[in-house]
Structure formats: C-alpha cells, structure tokens
Amino acid sequence: MSLEYAILGFLNYLPLSGYDLKKMFDISVQHFWQADQSQIYRTLAQLTEQGLVEKEVIHQEDRPDRKVYSITPSGQEQLQAWLKIMPPPKPDHSAALIQVFFCGQLSNEEILTKFESMAAMMKVVLQRYQQVPTQLEEYKSMVNSQRETFFWLLTLDLGLRSIRANLEWAESIIEMLKNGKVPAK
C-alpha cells in the first residue's frame, strides 16, 4: 500500500491530524491521488501500531479532540528506503480501453460519438490541470521549499503530457472514422 507512504511523506514535513492530511492531499496531490477520508484514519491507526508514527491527543472544548500524528525515526527510515526502490508496477484495469477493444460491435456513428465525447472530456481535464498551479501558493505556505515545489510541478508535468498523448490518440481515431479508414467487417 502506498497511501501509507504518502502519509509518511507529509508527516515528514510537519505533524498533522487526519483532518489536516485530507486537506493536504486535496491541495497537493489531488490530481493523481484522491484520498479517502476514512482510509486516511484507518491507515493512521495502522501506522501507529507499526510504530512509524506517534499520536498526540490535543484536547478541545467544543469539538472532537484533535489527534496530531508525527513521524518517528523508524518511520523516517522506512520512508527513505521506500523512496529509493522501484514500486512494483501495478497493472491498471482500464475500463475505457476495454470499451475501445470491443467497440467494433457498435456502429461507426456511435463510435464517433464516443471518441468525440472522450476528446471533449480530455480537454476539460487538460484545462483543470492547467489551473492546478493556482493551488501552488497554498502548498508553498505549507512546505516552504523550492525543491519540494519543483517535484510537485514534475508530477503535474507528467499529467499534462499523458493527457495530451491521450487527446492526440482520440483525435487520430476521429480522423480515421471521418476518412473511412475503419474496416466495416
């Protein structure tokens, strides 16, 4: 599980509660990692058991107590070690590609509609990506390091390149459909 390491990564900057962590995910890696709130809490519990993080309960009068987690030396070791290894590439089961694979069973018009809405969606995602750097300021105030922001921008860059590759692919298929290059049988 790498949510585990993502959490350790953030806690290595500063101590945070489960609630804070959720916000951190949302302002920084939301473009490639949507963290589930309940999963964060469960993973935090698990990391505590393993001695990789430590919990400090901060009492609050009017709201539930804050439980602030800090990384332990053992947690830092684990994180460093993990950052150096290559994570086993997990095969992604792409529903979209399964649809492409079997879409010969649809009519050409239906397929054209499909790829056109795919292309349209990708353009939306592309725009969303191009607007992500707006959140940079929020993130900067949390980590305050040009080096960290640099790597953040790299993850954005890959996202952009991937979406562009996808869009070009979809557009090349639209071209083929319009020019009658798709075999009828």
63 binds, among a second copy, DNA, none (CB under 5 to 8 A by kind): DNA
The yes or no reply on residue 17 touching DNA (CB under 7 A) is yes
Residue closer to a second copy by CB (options 19, 82) is 82
* The only residue of 13, 19, 129, 169 in contact with DNA, by rule CB under 7 A: 19
Neighbours of 136 (CB within 10 A): 15
64 binds, among DNA, a second copy, none (CB under 5 to 8 A by kind): DNA
130 binds, among a second copy, DNA, none (CB under 5 to 8 A by kind): none
In angstroms, the CA 156 to CA 168 distance is: 18
The yes or no reply on residue 72 touching DNA (CB under 7 A) is no
167 and 123 Cβ atoms separated by less than 8 Å: yes
- The residue written with tokens 């900067």 in the block is 140
Exposed (0-12), middle (13-18) or buried (19+): which is 155, by Cβ within 10 Å? Answer: middle
Residue closer to a second copy by CB (options 100, 126) is 100
Residue closer to a second copy by CB (options 64, 101) is 101
51 and 45 Cβ atoms separated by less than 8 Å: no
147 to 27, 47, 66: CA distances (angstroms) = 17, 27, 30
Where does this chain bind DNA (CB under 7 A)? 1-3, 17-20, 23, 34-39, 41-45, 60, 62-68, 91, 93
